[in-house]
């Protein structure tokens, strides 16, 4: 923990995010005192914040707040934990002063914050609509200022994340630490351009590299310190038990032990196979995921689903095994062929539809697929869903948006005609047709089309696709497979029953 002492930790976030409690928890772990700027403003004024607001107005409060906050930030030294009032970051001078410190944003959704914050002692919580508008505005400012983004809902994320600040100190400037929480374990996610070239190593001990021959040609040199490297043949057709067996045996031959770790450098195929080997070799060893495709950076490297295909079905054999850490370096995407970037963009659009809010706004405004803020937004969306439901018992099913028809297309075309992301693009259009929002379907079709993704299904009969949905892994017993539908961006439901004829019509429309 002492490594976190290089700078002060400053907690920012909306009202109800738990800044005071988090600063106290961090201070306790660091053996220092927490400083709460709202309390200091109150002490100086001799009245509670609510009364200051009521009697003198917000403007007067902000002036007093800025003065106090600037004084605190000027003095705050290494290892101190400071919590700021929710609106303090609206001052440009405060934002400037924050640059000298480690800024930790406690992120939460509007629902959670409203539940926690709403009350007479909070002057800005009189009206829900205003509350949400203010949140949307502020979230952009918090995000911009943040070095560390923690889910506010996760109780002990603060103390668990503290030791990882030492790794963040070794990362290139501008790298962010995100926090992944799941029932079976939590782990850090580092997002930053150049962190692979800089040789960032989140874990101590010996690393065993797994990659594929294509990725190795571009990026394996950065992992020359690995004690052993294994290169798979690239492609979905190698995501098999046979490949896993090759890896298990090579790990045994090269004497990998449980104090060592795997490093999975590659796209979703490498990540899934290496993750599966990590889950099973000697009943489980740590794996660091280093995703090199957009699909992997926004989706497959997180959440702990690992596995391989069998001829009877995709991802039919696998295990849940959360990574020990994930390194996301957008620079690695520089060598990715445009079709693979496009395939990843389909997952970006899917995730933005699930998230709604600022991520959806960014994507619909035409942000490039590989924009680091878009990538980070997608990661946080997926992590928030997995934090709620690691094993697909409920909410995690929303991540399957567009995937029921996509998997059926892949199965019916023998996994060779479309990339996974291309099938997802078609699947999204079908899901939006079934959701009944014509304008949204049009808008999404426009985004996918502009990215060069296919809008037409060919080479397979729609009936065959609908038949294939009947074998979907997500179905339960003899029930038909449920669909994920979009009411509006940010409002996605799962477990919907859809009539076979409607599915057929939605797929026919694509053909």
Ligand X SMILES: NC(=O)c1ccc[n+]([C@@H]2O[C@H](COP(=O)([O-])OP(=O)(O)OC[C@H]3O[C@@H](n4cnc5c(N)ncnc54)[C@H](O)[C@@H]3O)[C@@H](O)[C@H]2O)c1
Residues contributing to the site for ligand X (CB under 6 A): 212, 214-215, 218, 234-236, 239, 266-270, 272, 292-293, 295-296, 299-300, 303, 305, 315, 332, 335-336, 340, 343, 420
| Residue corresponding to tokens 């996994």 | 415
The tokens describing 18, both together, are 């738990």
Question: How near is the Cβ of 406 to ligand X at its closest, in Å?
Answer: 10
Distance in Å, CB of 195 to ligand X, minimum:
14
Decide: helix, strand or coil at residue 330.
helix
Q: Judged by CB, which is closer to ligand X: 7, or 239? A: 239
Burial level of 371, CB count in 10 A (0-12/13-18/19+)? middle
What's the closest the beta carbon of residue 233 comes to ligand X, in angstroms?
9
**123 or 194: whose CB is closer to ligand X?**
194
Least distance from ligand X to the Cβ atom of residue 156, Å? 25
Of residues 160 and 410, the one with the C-beta less far from ligand X: 410
Q: Rg (Cα) of the chain, in Å, rounded?
A: 24
CA atoms of 11 and 114, how far apart (whole Å): 19
CB of 313 to ligand X, least distance (A): 11
d(CA 9, CA 476): 47
Q: Which lies closer to ligand X via its Cβ, residue 267 or residue 462?
A: 267
Minimum CB–partner distance for residue 266 and ligand X (Å): 6
**C-alpha distances out from residue 285 to 236, 252, 333, 348, 415, Å:** 24, 13, 27, 30, 30
Q: Residue 424 to residues 92, 185, 196, 342, 391: CA-CA distances in angstroms?
A: 42, 29, 29, 11, 21
Which among 259, 261, 317, 296 is positioned nearest to 420, based on CA atoms?
Answer: 296
Element (H, E) at 81: strand 81-83
**Nearest Cα to Cα of residue 475 among 392, 409, 419:** 392
Q: What gap in Å lies between CA 427 and CA 455, rounded to an integer? A: 10
Q: Which is nearer to ligand X, 14 or 345 (CB)?
A: 345
Nearer to ligand X, 243 or 292 (CB): 292
CB of 219 to ligand X, least distance (A): 6
- Residue at shortest CB range from ligand X: 268
Place of tokens 């303090």: 88
* Residues found in the chain: 511
Question: Is 212 within 8 Å of 232 (Cβ atoms)?
Answer: yes
CB of 180 to ligand X, least distance (A): 13
User: Cβ closer to ligand X: 24 or 420?
Assistant: 420
Q: By C-beta, is 213 or 257 nearer to ligand X?
A: 213
């Amino acid at each position: 923990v002492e490594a976190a002492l290089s700078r002060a930790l400053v907690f920012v976030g909306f009202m109800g995010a738990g800044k005071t409690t988090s600063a106290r928890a961090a201070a306790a772990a660091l053996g220092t005192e927490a400083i709460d700027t709202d309390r200091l403003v109150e002490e100086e004024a001799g009245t509670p914040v609510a009364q200051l607001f009521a009697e003198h107005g917000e403007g007067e409060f902000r002036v007093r707040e800025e003065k106090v906050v600037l004084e605190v930030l000027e003095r705050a030294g290494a290892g101190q934990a400071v919590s700021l009032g929710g609106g303090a970051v609206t001052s440009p001078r405060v934002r400037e002063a924050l640059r000298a410190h480690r800024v930790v944003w406690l992120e939460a959704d509007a629902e959670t914050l409203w539940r926690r914050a709403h009350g007479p002692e909070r002057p800005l919580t009189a009206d829900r609509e205003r509350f949400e508008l203010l949140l949307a505005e502020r979230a952009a400012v918090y995000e911009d200022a943040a070095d560390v983004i923690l889910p506010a809902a996760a109780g002990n994320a603060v103390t668990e994340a503290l030791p990882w600040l030492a790794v963040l100190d070794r990362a290139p400037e501008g790298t962010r630490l995100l926090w992944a929480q799941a029932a079976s374990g939590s782990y850090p996610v580092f997002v930053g351009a150049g962190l692979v070239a800089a040789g960032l190593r989140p874990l101590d001990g010996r690393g065993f590299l797994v990659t594929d021959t294509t990725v190795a040609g571009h990026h394996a040199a950065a992992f020359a310190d690995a004690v052993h490297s294994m290169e798979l043949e690239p492609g979905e057709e190698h995501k098999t038990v046979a490949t896993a067996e090759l890896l298990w045996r090579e790990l045994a031959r090269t004497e990998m032990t449980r104090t060592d770790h795997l490093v999975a450098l590659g796209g979703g195929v490498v990540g899934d196979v290496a993750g599966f080997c990590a889950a099973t070799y000697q009943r489980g060893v740590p794996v660091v995921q280093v995703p090199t495709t957009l699909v992997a950076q926004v989706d497959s490297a997180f959440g702990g689903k690992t596995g391989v295909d069998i001829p009877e079905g995709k991802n039919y054999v696998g295990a849940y095994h959360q990574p020990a850490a994930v390194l996301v370096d957008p620079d690695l995407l520089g060598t990715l062929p445009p079709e693979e970037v496009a395939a990843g963009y389909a997952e970006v659009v899917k995730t933005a539809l699930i998230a709604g809010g600022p991520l959806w706004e960014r994507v619909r405004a035409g942000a490039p697929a590989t924009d680091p803020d878009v990538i980070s937004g997608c990661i946080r969306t997926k992590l928030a869903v997995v934090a709620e439901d690691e094993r697909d018992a409920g909410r995690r099913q929303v991540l399957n948006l567009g995937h029921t028809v996509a998997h059926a297309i892949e199965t019916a075309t023998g996994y060779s005609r479309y990339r996974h992301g291309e099938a997802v693009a078609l699947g999204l259009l079908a899901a939006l047709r079934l959701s009944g929002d014509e304008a949204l379907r049009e808008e999404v079709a426009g985004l996918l089309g502009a990215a060069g993704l296919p809008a037409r299904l060919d080479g397979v009969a729609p009936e065959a696709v609908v038949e294939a949905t009947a074998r979907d892994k997500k179905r339960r017993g003899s029930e038909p497979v449920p669909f994920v539908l979009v009411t509006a961006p940010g409002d996605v439901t799962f477990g919907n029953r859809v009539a076979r004829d409607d599915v057929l019509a939605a797929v026919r429309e694509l053909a």
